């Protein structure tokens, strides 16, 4: 039995227990999605969007649950500290009400698990759910198998002061978890959503995740994803946003864990004067591989996009970045800027950075640039002449390279959390602790 069939049978075995299984539209959608996945299989290098990341190995890959589950409560406590905020915790792909603390919400805000939302407002969920043709085959697998995730709906004009934290932790029973998060931000609303992916252990687990964001006119949404899965994990995720007139969307993708991580991040300007920031940082070592495939679709005029990705690549790792920018024929006065900078920390590490520009309008500002380089010898020397040893100096410069990405995270507590996550990964990060 090939691995694709394994997933198809898993689907049939589980489909009756899926949340919303009784909803015909959803059952239909899931069936279409699993058929699509069965038909297309895992993407290989022949696929134009997967040229640097083949998932052909997935056919042979066995997944297993970790023998011992991470202590979810302890992990949460470490992460949360004394933050009041809104915290939704998912263990093994299912909402855990005990660990969660949704907190007080302004009137009209819906913040629940997706399973609850399917019970309470199935029509609204249906409108936001997405279709089986979205994305590539892993996204279809996610749609078919997703057991839970978060549902957030912000009514017109409402701002959530504190960030919404979604914490996803692996458990000791499931070899895979499939999460779907739906966010509907009505006109003029504002919120920050943070996704944390945590895992521990030696087993190869699979996470698929899809987050869909509808950002209505003049709404302001910041999305931050902090991926810290266990070393052997496979993580396949997509983030899809649509922006209406004047909407602001910021995405920060910090990829620190997993053996293979793929993030498809897309946004589309469906109205004039949209604004987007795509910020990314990845740190890799060993034989790890991370691929960010991003696209910004300036479908309407006067949109502004800023995209910055930074990679720290050690060992035999490989970092891939693709930045697609589409400016439609009528999207005049669009302004797009893209940069991808990689710091190679070893000779064997590899970085690919590929801009893909499709500009059909003529009154457009578009700039892009990519660099792949080693540590700056002048800086290293300067630090050493001040008494810092080679290792400390290298760590400091590595951190400094990453700091530019962290500094784009506007909310200070989140920036600190991201910093702490990076420090935990950098060898000797404790030496730099006072930077926090």
Partner 1 sequence: MLDIKNLKASVEGKDILKGLDLQVKAGEVHAIMGPNGSGKSTLSQVLAGRDTFQVDGGSVTWDGQDLLAMPIEERARAGLFLAFQYPVEIPGVSNAYFLKAAVNAIRKHRGLPEFDAMDFLTRVKAEMKAVGMKEEFLYRAVNEGFSGGEKKRNEVLQMALLEPRLAILDETDSGLDIDALKVVADGVNRLRSPDRALIVITHYQRLLDYIVPDHVHVLSQGRIVRSGGRELALELEEKGYGWIGDAGEIHAAPPAAGGAQ
Q: Which stretch binds partner 1 (CB under 8 A): 188-196, 342-350, 375-383, 416-424?
A: 375-383
Among 49, 333, 392, 408, binds partner 1 (CB under 8 A): 392
- Which one of the spans 2-10, 94-102, 334-342, 395-403 is the region binding partner 1 (CB under 8 A)? 395-403
Q: Is 436 in the site for partner 1 (CB under 8 A)?
A: no
383 forms part of the interface with partner 1 (CB under 8 A): yes
What is the token pair recorded at 365? Answer: 């500002």
User: Least Å distance between CB 421 and partner 1?
Assistant: 17
- Distance, CA of 138 to CA of 43 (rounded, Å): 8
> By rule CB under 8 A, what string of x and - marks binding of each residue 195-234 to partner 1?
----------------------------------------
Does 24 bind partner 1 (CB under 8 A)? Our answer is: no
| Dihedral angle over CA of 137, 201, 418, 195, nearest 10 | 40
Question: Which lies closer to partner 1 via its Cβ, residue 414 or residue 432?
Answer: 432
375 binds partner 1 (CB under 8 A): no
177 beta partners? 207
Q: Smaller CB distance to partner 1: residue 44 or 379? A: 379
Count of positions on this chain that bind partner 1 (CB under 8 A)? 25
Check binding of 378 to partner 1 (CB under 8 A).
Answer: yes
- Residue 430 binds partner 1 (CB under 8 A): no
Nearer to partner 1, 39 or 376 (CB): 376
Of the candidates 350, 234, 241, the one whose C-alpha atom is nearest the C-alpha of residue 285 is: 350
| Identified binder of partner 1 from the candidate list 55, 399, 422, 423, rule CB under 8 A | 399
Q: Least separation, in Å, of the C-beta of 403 and partner 1?
A: 4
Residue tagged 């003049």 (tokens): 218
Nearer to partner 1, 60 or 385 (CB): 385
Three-state secondary structure string covering the chain: CCHHHHHHHHHHHHHHHCCCCCCHHHHHHHHHHHHHHHHHCCCCCCCHHHCCCCCHHHHCCCCCCCCCCCCHHHHHHHHHCCCCCEEEEEECCEECCCCCECCCCCCCCEEEEHHHHHHHCHHHHHHHCCCCCCCCHHHHHHHHHCCECEEEEECCCCECCCCEEEEEECCCCCCEEEEEEEEEECCCCEEEEEEEEECCCCCCCEEEEEEEEEECCCCEEEEEEEEECCCCCEEEEEEEEEECCCCEEEEEEEECCCCEEEEEEEEEECCCCCEEEEEEEEEECCCCEEEEEEEEEECCCCCEEEEEEEEEECCCCEEEEEEEEEECCCCCCEEEEEEEEEEECCCCCEEEEEEEEEECCCCEEEEEEEEEECCCHHHHHHHHCCCCCHHHHHHHHHHHHHHHHHCCCCCHHHHHHHHHHHHHHCCCHHHHHHHC
Q: What does the block give as tokens for 162? A: 């504190």
| Binding test (CB under 8 A) with partner 1, winner from 401, 421, 423, 426 | 401
Restricting to residues 402-421, name those near partner 1 by CB under 8 A: 402-404, 407
- The region of 112-120, 123-131, 270-278, 385-393 touching partner 1 under the rule CB under 8 A is 385-393
Shortest distance, position 369 Cβ to partner 1, whole Å: 16
To partner 1, the closest distance from the beta carbon of 35 in angstroms equals 49
CB-nearer residue toward partner 1: 71 or 389: 389
Whose Cβ is closer to partner 1: residue 21's or residue 391's? 391
**Identified binder of partner 1 from the candidate list 16, 60, 347, 387, rule CB under 8 A:** 387
Q: Does 381 bind partner 1 (CB under 8 A)?
A: yes
Least distance in angstroms from the C-beta of 349 to partner 1: 20
Nearer to partner 1, 48 or 387 (CB): 387
197 or 308: CB nearest partner 1: 308
Kindly list the residues in this chain that would bind partner 1 in the complex (CB under 8 A): 377-379, 381-390, 392, 396-397, 399-404, 407, 434-435
């Amino acid at each position: 039995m090939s691995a694709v069939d394994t997933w198809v049978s898993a689907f049939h075995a589980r489909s009756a227990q899926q949340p919303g299984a009784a909803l015909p539209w959803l059952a239909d959608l899931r069936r279409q999605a699993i058929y699509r996945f069965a038909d297309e299989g895992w993407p290989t290098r022949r696929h134009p969007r997967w040229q640097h990341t083949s998932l052909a190995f997935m056919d042979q890959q066995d997944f297993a649950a970790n023998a011992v589950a991470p202590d979810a409560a302890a992990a949460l406590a470490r992460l949360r500290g004394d933050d009041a905020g809104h915290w939704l915790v998912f263990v093994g792909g299912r909402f855990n009400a005990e660990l969660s603390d949704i907190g007080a919400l302004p009137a009209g805000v819906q913040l629940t698990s997706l399973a609850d939302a399917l019970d309470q407002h199935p029509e609204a969920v249906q409108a936001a759910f997405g279709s089986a043709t979205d994305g590539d085959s892993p996204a279809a697998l996610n749609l078919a198998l997703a057991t839970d995730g978060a549902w957030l709906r912000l009514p017109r004009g409402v701002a959530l002061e504190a960030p919404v934290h979604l914490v996803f932790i692996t458990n000791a029973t499931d070899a895979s978890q499939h999460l779907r998060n739906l966010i509907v931000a009505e006109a003029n609303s504002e919120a920050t959503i943070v996704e944390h992916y945590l895992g521990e252990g030696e087993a190869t687990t699979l996470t698929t995740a899809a987050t869909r964001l509808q950002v209505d006119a003049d709404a302001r949404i910041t999305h931050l994803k902090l991926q810290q899965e266990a070393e052997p994990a496979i993580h396949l995720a997509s983030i899809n946003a649509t922006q209406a007139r004047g909407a602001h969307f910021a995405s920060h993708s910090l990829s620190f864990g997993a053996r293979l991580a793929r993030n498809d991040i897309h946004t589309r300007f469906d109205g004039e004067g949209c604004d987007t920031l795509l910020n990314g940082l990845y740190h890799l070592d060993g034989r790890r591989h991370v691929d960010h495939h991003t696209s910004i679709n300036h479908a309407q005029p006067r949109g502004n996009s800023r995209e910055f990705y930074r990679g720290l690549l050690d060992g035999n790792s490989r970092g891939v970045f693709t930045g697609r920018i589409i400016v439609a024929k009528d999207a005049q006065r669009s302004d797009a800027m893209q940069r991808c900078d990689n710091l190679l920390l070893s000779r064997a590490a590899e970085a690919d950075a590929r801009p893909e520009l499709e500009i059909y309008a003529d009154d457009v500002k578009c700039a892009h640039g990519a660099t792949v380089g080693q540590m700056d010898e002048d800086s290293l020397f300067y630090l050493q002449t001040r008494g810092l040893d080679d290792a400390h100096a290298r760590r400091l410069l590595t951190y400094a390279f990453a700091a530019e990405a962290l500094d784009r995270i506007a909310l200070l507590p989140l920036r600190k959390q991201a910093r702490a996550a990076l420090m935990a990964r950098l060898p000797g990060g404790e030496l730099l602790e006072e930077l926090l």
